[in-house]
Structure 1
């Protein structure tokens, strides 16, 4: 983890990542930066996670800065987020202390992409989420005051949210959204007006053609049998 330093003899909590066997020796690779290390810490602190009552569906991390976790419960009576947070935040704070103050966002996993994306952008408040399922992209609208919080420092919040959900996420302010909407509405009105005018001209041309035919027929002499 960035900014962590160790000395000989220090006791360090880590996760076994890999055992490498070479002709000369065996190398044991430990990690504190892997996302699953955070998951293992929650298993130690949250009995419901260890017992599989609460499941960590997705976890992403930028070590030393922030982790986002999506959780769900196998039992309706158990609140998955509440279980991970603990009374007065005791459980999650224990994990935060082990990670030297790394921020942790815990959200409820859901199969509804709109809700999931909105939750993933926590701690920002979301006004609207539009999705394109074919492109698996989302346009998120937030209040102007929430824009920087939703994006996060150096784009970290939206970047982690995109990785957590698996969706490409673009964020715009409510002001920008209304501006773009007004421009789109203007373009649509202009296109409709143009189409209406074209149809009107076609109708006039048709009427003139019919009138010309009628006059031509009237000028023709009657044919006697």
Structure 2
């Protein structure tokens, strides 16, 4: 190793942000391990890396002890012998002798190179981890790299993310080279570097897509209060405006439905119900069961449950196919909802109104 190596460390510090002193400390520890591996014990050895010239020296260390306390001449030296070297030595002092092996320069160079390469790899992993940690719960655009055993590998530029089957939209197909928007679900450290899990089925994807499409949401004028989603089929989203002049549903739908259409297209024609949020549970539950009409809502605050009565002819609409409408409404409001028809509730049924469906 030489002065050029020191210059290379300076460049690493400047270009990659790898602290030179930390790197040198790591190199010294690695050299100590290399010495022990190649030349025996390193119990009393210190390795010194010259910060200016890049030279490496190895020193043995012995403690100055009284003759009666001498136990191991490898680790200790008598006071009388120490004073033959220098009359200034006292008990407890450390005497160092250079013991750099002739072949140690080659070993040192190889070891230092391995340390630097490893540290660069770790630094790059740390940079990638920090970059994507800041993007957790955000949307990024990636490219499908490959599909292996139902797991989609998505190229995000500096790293590949994985999308497990449960994070995929049911029925959606993925092919290599396809550009897709994904929601960064989790970023975690592993022994092999950062692992990023992305999703297209998470409700957060819908929320972020609306933030991109609807300026009022991005600016905080319209708030997304809750979302319930069955990916690939249907989503319900409750919104509220902090400005009375702005219709939150209209803002989300956009001119001629353009805003919501862009999101529906991105999600493969997934149906999206946008409803107005209310602090009144009964009113919120009525809206959540849209498009069904509601005749009556009885609220049980303690159990956080609601009995909802709907017209006989709209019972199936309120419940939805395989119970989906009722299930999504319950998730959206966080209330347990029991739906009954007017006949089941003992009320006089309304006249059938086919236009209501």
TM-score (normalizing by structure 2): 0.49
| Structure with greater helix percent | 1
Q: 1:34 corresponds to which residue?
A: 202
Which secondary structure does the structure 1 equivalent of 2:187 belong to? strand
Which of 37-46 and 18-27 deviates more?
Answer: 18-27
2:182 aligned to which of 14, 28, 31: 14
What is the CA-CA distance between 1:75 and the residue it aligns to? 0.8
SS for the counterpart of 1:135 is coil
Q: Secondary structure at the match of 1:4?
A: coil
Q: Which contiguous aligned blocks of 4+ residues in structure 1 show a shift greater than 3 angstroms? A: none
Q: 1:72 aligns with which of 223, 234, 240?
A: 240
Q: Structure 1 residues 93, 12: CA separation in 2 closer, same or farther (over 3 Å shift)? A: same
Alpha-carbon RMSD: 1.2
Question: Using the alignment, how far apart are the partners of 2:301 and 2:193 within structure 1?
Answer: 50
Cα shift readout 1:135-194 (whole Å, capped 9, x = no counterpart)? 1111111111110010011111101101111111001111111269xxxxxxxxxxxxxx
Give ranges in structure 2 of 5+ residues lacking alignment: 1-168, 349-357
Residues of 2 paired with 1:179 and 1:102: CA distance? 36
Give the aligned partner of residue 275 of structure 2. 107
The alignment partner of 2:344 has SS state of helix
- 5+ residue gaps, structure 1, are 181-225
Query: Partner residue of 1:153?
Result: 321
Q: Larger % of strand: which?
A: 2
Q: How far does residue 27 in structure 1 lie from its aligned partner after superposition?
A: 1.6
Mark the structure with the bigger radius of gyration: 2
Which structure is higher in RCO with an 8 Å CA cutoff and minimum separation 6? Answer: 1
1:166 counterpart residue number: 334
